[in-house]
Amino acid sequence: MTDGFGKGHHLHLIDGSAFIFRAYHALPPLTRRSDGLPMGAVAGFCNMVWKYLQDGKGSDQPTHAAVIFDHSARTFRNDIYPLYKANRPEPPEDLRPQFPLTREATRAFNIACIETAGFEADDIIASLACQARDAGGRVTIISSDKDLMQLVGGGVEMMDPIKAKPIGPEEVREKFGVGPERVVDVQALAGDSIDNVPGAPGIGIKTAAQLIQEYGDLETLLARAAEIRQPKRRQTLIDHAEQIRISKRLVELDCRMALDFSLESLEIREPDPETLLEFLTRMELRTLSKRVAERFGTEAPTLAEVAAPAASAEPVAPVAELPAIDRGLYVTIRDEATLAEWLAEISGQGVVAIDTETTGLDEMRAELVGVSLCTGPGRAAYLPLGHVDGAADLFGSGARAAGQMDLDRALAMLKPVLEDPSVLKIGQNIKYDWKVLARYGIRMAPLDDTMLLSYALNAGAHNHGMDELADLYLGHRCLPIKELIGSGKAQISFAQVAIDKASEYAAEDAEVTWRLWHHLRPKLAPNRVATAYERLERPMIGVLADMEMAGIRIDSEHLKRMSNAFAQKMAGLEAEIHELAGGPFNVGSPKQLGEILFQRMGLAGGKQGKTGAFSTGAEVLEDLAAEGHALPARVLDWRAISKLKSTYTDALPLHLNPETGRVHTSYSIAGAQTGRLASTDPNLQNIPVRTDEGRRIREAFVAGPGMRLVSLDYSQIELRILAHVAQIPALKQAFHDGIDIHAMTASQMFGVPVEGMDPMIRRRAKAINFGVIYGISGFGLARNLRIPRAEAQSFIDTYFERFPEIRAYMDRTVAGAKQDGFVRTLFGRRIMTPGINQSGPAAGGARRAAINAPIQGAAADIIRRAMIRMPEAVAHLPARMLLQVHDELVFEVEESAVPELVEAARGVMQGAADPAVRLDVPLIVDAGHGLNWAEAH
DNA sequence: AACTTCACG
DNA sequence: GACGTACGTGAAGTTC
Spatial distance from the CA of A169 to the C1' of B5 (Å): 80
Spatial distance from the CA of A605 to the C1' of B1 (Å): 30
Closest CA to the C1' of C14: that residue is A589
CB atoms within 10 A of CB A909: 28
Q: Is the dihedral of CA A138, A140, A145, A149 positive or negative?
A: positive
Closest CA to the C1' of C9: that residue is A678
Distance separating alpha carbons of residues A161 and A163, to the nearest angstrom: 6
Residue A356 in 3-state DSSP? strand
Q: Which nucleotides of strand B lie under 7 Å from a protein CB? A: 3-9
Give residue A178's pLDDT: 87
Closest CA to the C1' of C6: that residue is A780
Q: How far is CA A209 from CA A85, A189, A193, A328, A428, in A?
A: 23, 9, 18, 76, 71
Sheet holding A879-884, edge to edge: A879-884, A888-894, A707-714, A925-930
Q: Which nucleotide's C1' sits nearest to the alpha carbon of A487?
A: B1
Give alpha helix (H) positions in A307-398: 336-349
**Taking CA A922 as the corner, what is the angle to CA A916 and CA A923, rounded to the nearest 5 degrees?**
80
Give residue A250's pLDDT: 87
CB atoms within 10 A of CB A60: 12
Burial A766-801, CB ≥16 within 10 A → b, else e: bbbbebbbbbbbbebbbebbeeeeeebbebbeebbe
Closest CA to the C1' of C13: that residue is A588
**CB A618 within 8 Å of CB A636:** yes
**CB A827 within 8 Å of CB A866:** no
Q: How far is CA A327 from CA A332, A338, A380, A404, in A?
A: 12, 19, 9, 20
| Identity of the residue numbered A215 | Y
**Taking CA A680 as the corner, what is the angle to CA A678 and CA A684, rounded to the nearest 5 degrees?**
80
Spatial distance from the CA of A619 to the C1' of B8 (Å): 18
- Tally of CA atoms within 13 A in the half-sphere of A405 that contains its CB: 22
Spatial distance from the CA of A488 to the C1' of B1 (Å): 13
Give residue A688's pLDDT: 96
Q: Which of residues 631-660 of A touch strand B (CB under 7 A)?
A: 636, 639-640, 643-644, 647
Q: Which of A465, A421, A419, A459 is nearest to A443 (CA)?
A: A419
Residues of chain A with pLDDT under 50: 1-2, 57, 308-319
Distance of CA A223 to the CA centre of its chain: 67
If you ran DSSP here, which 8-state letter would residue A705 be given? T
Q: Which of residues 833-862 of A touch strand B (CB under 7 A)?
A: 856
Distance of CA A146 to the CA centre of its chain: 45
Q: Which nucleotide's C1' sits nearest to the alpha carbon of A691?
A: B7
Give chain A's length. Answer: 937
Give residue A319's pLDDT: 44
Residue A114 in 3-state DSSP? strand
Q: Which nucleotide's C1' sits nearest to the alpha carbon of A610?
A: B3
CA dihedral A136, A155, A255, A1 (to 10 degrees): -20
Give residue A928's pLDDT: 97
| Identity of the residue numbered A241 | A
Closest CA to the C1' of C11: that residue is A647
**CB A520 within 8 Å of CB A319:** no
Q: Which of A442, A443, A451, A438 is nearest to A509 (CA)?
A: A451
Q: Which of residues 873-902 of A touch strand B (CB under 7 A)?
A: 885-888
Distance separating alpha carbons of residues A770 and A783, to the nearest angstrom: 13
Distance separating alpha carbons of residues A373 and A382, to the nearest angstrom: 6
Q: Which nucleotide's C1' sits nearest to the alpha carbon of A781?
A: C6
Q: Which of A799, A800, A814 is nearest to A849 (CA)?
A: A814
Distance separating alpha carbons of residues A21 and A16, to the nearest angstrom: 9
Give residue A396's pLDDT: 61
pLDDT in tens, A321-352: 789 999 999 999 999 999 999 999 999 999 99
Q: Is the CB of A863 under 7 A from strand B?
A: no
If you ran DSSP here, which 8-state letter would residue A192 be given? B
Spatial distance from the CA of A777 to the C1' of C3 (Å): 14
Give residue A72's pLDDT: 66
Residues 6+ apart with CB under 8 A from A844: A777
Q: Which of residues 669-708 of A touch strand B (CB under 7 A)?
A: 685-691, 694
Q: Which of A823, A825, A818, A810 is nearest to A843 (CA)?
A: A818
Spatial distance from the CA of A568 to the C1' of C8 (Å): 35
Q: How far is CA A160 from CA A14, A45, A140, A401, in A?
A: 11, 16, 10, 78
